[in-house]
A and B are shown apart, each in its own frame.
Chain A
Amino acid sequence: MKLRQWIQILFISTCVLVLVGCHTKRKTDQSAINEANAAYATGAQTSGLGEGSHFSDQSNNSTMRLSTKHVYYFDFDSSVVHEVDKPAIDANADYMLAHENAKVMLEGHTDPRGSREYNIGLGERRAQAVGEIIKDKGIHPGQIRVVSYGAQKLAIPGHSEADYQKDRRVVLVYLQR
């Protein structure tokens, strides 16, 4: 009888321990996740504004033309803006000049090859290169935000040179028009 009681006590205490263990563990994982999500929510002033078609519901004015060109591509390991993209960047700058409340985010991206942190540096240089063209038009620097995602947000998940060409880009996103 005594032995049985001991077994019962051991069994119950083990159950409690296991449950406590599970509980704390879940709390650990979950709290980290909640915290991350909460932090993301606090940054929500920008979260609704993806790279998508910010002007697409407007038509027949100059902004429609802009929406076709807010992604600028780059050569391998280069932060030199292509001549072909400069008119579109200028057009965005003109819009910002006319709308001094307008704010843009320039997202710099690279292809996935090589060092991730070096690519963060490279992505920032690309975004800054586009930013310089906009600033040269007389735009207040406070209207431009730069973020480099490096190779962390690929345009195309593949691993061919054609995919890499799409990855090496700066995306101009209006945070505020």
Chain B
Amino acid sequence: MKLLLKWWQQQLNEVVVMRNRVRFLFFLFILIMPYSASAILSMELTRGIAGAIPIAVVPFAAGEDVPQHVADIIATDLQNSGRFKVYGQQSLSSLKARLSIGETSTVGFPSEVGAVSNDYFRRLGTDNVVIGKVVPLLNDRYQITFQLLDIFRGTGKKSVTLGRSYTVSAHELRSIAHHISDLIYQKLTGIKGVFSTKLAYIVIRTEPDGRMRYILEVTDQDGYNPRPLLDSPEPIMSPAWSPNGRQLAYVSFEDRRASIYVQDVITGMRHLLSKFPGINGAPAWSPDGQKLALVLSKSGAPNIYVMDVASSRLTQLTHDFYINTEPAWSPNGKSLLFTSNRSGGPQIYQINLATGSISRLSYDGDYNARASYTRDGNHVVMIHRVSGIYYIGILDLDTGTMRVLNKSIGDSSSPSIAPNGSMILYDTVYRGRNILAMVSADGNVQLVLPAREGEAQDPAWSPFLS
């Protein structure tokens, strides 16, 4: 474990060294690589997004031996959210040199509000400035202080809109950086940030002897800190977070048949939930966490059921011989979306849990599947096929219009919406490999998260974890 940490830190240090050498936009390659050369420019996406917020993230004052570059993590978080035009270390340094500003300050970047030159940031084009410092304490602990300034409000203390101080250990530096990103994001957009959330997904590797390995992994939202929850020689599918983020339900074929397990994310303990003959699939927690919708084919064809988690009591919702699958709860828990081929190809239907009445929601296209509601319940995100390609589409329930979100990318699958509704995580074929990718709910921001090895698929975005 210690060796692993050491190795990890070395990797990070290398990343940091490299990052200092390349231009600001390209440092995005290091953490989350934009999906093509042209997309790096679209990462300057502020162009395409109405009201992208300029913000300068000034490198934090820190000793040489501070293992994480807190300000870089914050800058990357904000940049990758697509809601900000971020001025990080590189752009700040070059502009500083060009304008010959800051020559009076020999210490470099300001870390105290009194040292901030409002004139400098005004010329840069941003009123929002993040400053901070990391002070090493004893025993590998650090004090992190940051302030968010709005220099439009004035100079000095008058400009401070947010300020906090934390004491954390070295391994918590990334977490605290993400937490600071959350606070800044919420202060400036009014929406809760998702930088402290996690992603679950399946990694598939081929061993040298040709055998397959399936691993259920959980990482931080930016792809760091991957950890395995289950490692199996047989397929694992459809991870689903409980609403409190403490458990994952998933399908495992570990004894050559489908079973649904529920695993505690922290302890790794798990229990078997469902192992009926035939399909046991597509688990989906109700918003209150009391029930799980799932798919069983014990009747002879896949049908939707709801299981009361405490009592394991099953209620069958669909009763036919079509393929009915992929239940997804409405935010109020009163209805479910599901995929069914009752009209020929797969389409999205909604079942009212009180009345049992079923209505069709998707009419655009001949293949729509794996639907989920956005948080406000006004839109439905799904797999949507156009001209033989599988995209992520979003259906506006008010207008009935369908929109493709990720048109420039290959066959895509398994959309999962961020808990704040800002981004949609999915998997896609990229350069012949299956990888994870993200697109903003308006389609303007696209990112990919290449797997370190093997193929990554079937992602699920966690709920808010704190």
B76: chain A residues at CB < 8 Å are none
Q: How far is the CB of B340 from chain A (nearest CB, A)?
A: 9
Q: A11-B139, A153-B212 are in contact. Are A118 and B346 (CB under 8 A)?
A: yes
In the complex, the answer to whether A32 meets B230 with C-beta atoms within 8 Å is yes
In the complex, the answer to whether A117 meets B326 with C-beta atoms within 8 Å is yes
A124: chain B residues at CB < 8 Å are 278-279, 297, 302
Q: How far is the CA of A124 from the CA of B237 in the complex (A)?
A: 16
Write out, one digit per residue, whether chain B residues 219-252 have a CB within 8 A of any chain A CB (1) or not (0). Answer: 0000000011111111101100000000000001
| A114 close to B (CB within 8 Å) | yes
Q: How far is the CB of A143 from chain B (nearest CB, A)?
A: 15
| A80 close to B (CB within 8 Å) | no
In the complex, the answer to whether A32 meets B326 with C-beta atoms within 8 Å is no
In the complex, the answer to whether B281 meets A114 with C-beta atoms within 8 Å is no
Total interface residues on A, CB under 8 Å, equals: 47
B21: chain A residues at CB < 8 Å are none
In the complex, the answer to whether B231 meets A28 with C-beta atoms within 8 Å is no
Q: How far is the CA of A105 from the CA of B227 in the complex (A)?
A: 34
- The segment from A39-47, A59-67, A90-98 that touches chain B is A39-47
Q: Which of A43, A115, A117, A125 contacts B255 (CB 8 A)?
A: A43
Q: How far is the CB of B459 from chain A (nearest CB, A)?
A: 11
| B282 close to A (CB within 8 Å) | yes
Q: How far is the CB of B165 from chain A (nearest CB, A)?
A: 21
Q: Which of A18, A25, A115, A158 contacts B326 (CB 8 A)?
A: A115
| A16 close to B (CB within 8 Å) | no
In the complex, the answer to whether A115 meets B339 with C-beta atoms within 8 Å is yes
Q: Which of A10, A29, A40, A149 contacts B233 (CB 8 A)?
A: A40
In the complex, the answer to whether B268 meets A39 with C-beta atoms within 8 Å is no
Interface size class of B (residues with CB under 8 A): 35 or more
- The segment from B100-108, B256-264, B355-363 that touches chain A is B256-264
In the complex, the answer to whether B385 meets A114 with C-beta atoms within 8 Å is yes
Q: Which of A10, A29, A122, A153 contacts B138 (CB 8 A)?
A: A10
In the complex, the answer to whether A22 meets B429 with C-beta atoms within 8 Å is no
Q: A39-B255, A43-B254, A117-B295 are in contact. Are A33 and B228 (CB under 8 A)?
A: yes
Minimum CB distance partner of A114 in chain B:
B390
| B270 close to A (CB within 8 Å) | yes
| A171 close to B (CB within 8 Å) | no
In the complex, the answer to whether B255 meets A40 with C-beta atoms within 8 Å is yes
A7: chain B residues at CB < 8 Å are 138
A112: chain B residues at CB < 8 Å are 411, 434
Q: How far is the CA of A42 from the CA of B256 in the complex (A)?
A: 11
Q: How far is the CB of A124 from chain B (nearest CB, A)?
A: 6
| B253 close to A (CB within 8 Å) | yes
**Which 9 A-B pairs have CB atoms at the shortest separation, nearest pair first?**
A43-B255, A121-B323, A152-B235, A115-B369, A22-B1, A28-B268, A32-B268, A117-B282, A115-B370
9 additional contacts (CB under 8 A) given A43-B255, A120-B279, A149-B253: A29-B228, A36-B252, A47-B256, A114-B413, A115-B339, A117-B281, A121-B302, A121-B341, A158-B432
User: Which residues of B does A touch, CB under 8 Å?
Assistant: 1-2, 138-140, 206, 212, 214, 227-235, 237-238, 252-258, 263, 266-270, 278-279, 281-282, 295, 297, 302, 323-326, 339, 341, 345-346, 367, 369-370, 383, 385, 390, 410-411, 413-414, 429, 432, 434, 457-458
User: Which residues of A does B touch, CB under 8 Å?
Assistant: 7, 10-11, 14, 18, 22, 25-29, 31-33, 35-37, 39-40, 42-43, 46-47, 77, 105, 112-118, 120-122, 124-125, 146-150, 152-153, 157-159
